[in-house]
Structure 1
């Protein structure tokens, strides 16, 4: 359940980044590329902190947490890149 909450949170953060850039970009051509990069960087930090909590606090090993990290980071990040590539 926690994994699903984080993945949904990633999509919400992605929508917030893209929405903020749409409102504030004033027609800059590279604004959506910048939003995608900013989102990916922020989301990487959030996913990495979640992995650290799993290893340091919950007692999981890095090998157990790595697939979850890749899922939590990967789904929203790939969706952001595809959205930027196909739509914007």
Structure 2
């Protein structure tokens, strides 16, 4: 068994690097197209009617690869949320 000794500063720097790499790796794995359930959760809406309204008004992008399958663009949902964000006083 080998023992590696690190100073506190070096240990915490190593932990920060590991966390940064894990976040970077997970961020790249996010799908561009998400399901209606994921979109509803992301937008914090409870009904598919509200999701359809946003889609019909052109506020969020979507793709319909098959008749009953509708996928939503994660980036357009983020842009919609950012566009409707209000600054605090």
Higher relative contact order (CA 8 A, sep 6+): 1
TM-score where L is the length of structure 2: 0.31
Larger Rg: 2
Q: Write 1 or 2 for the structure with the bigger share of strand.
A: 2
With normalisation by structure 1, the TM-score equals 0.32
Structure with bigger helix share is 1
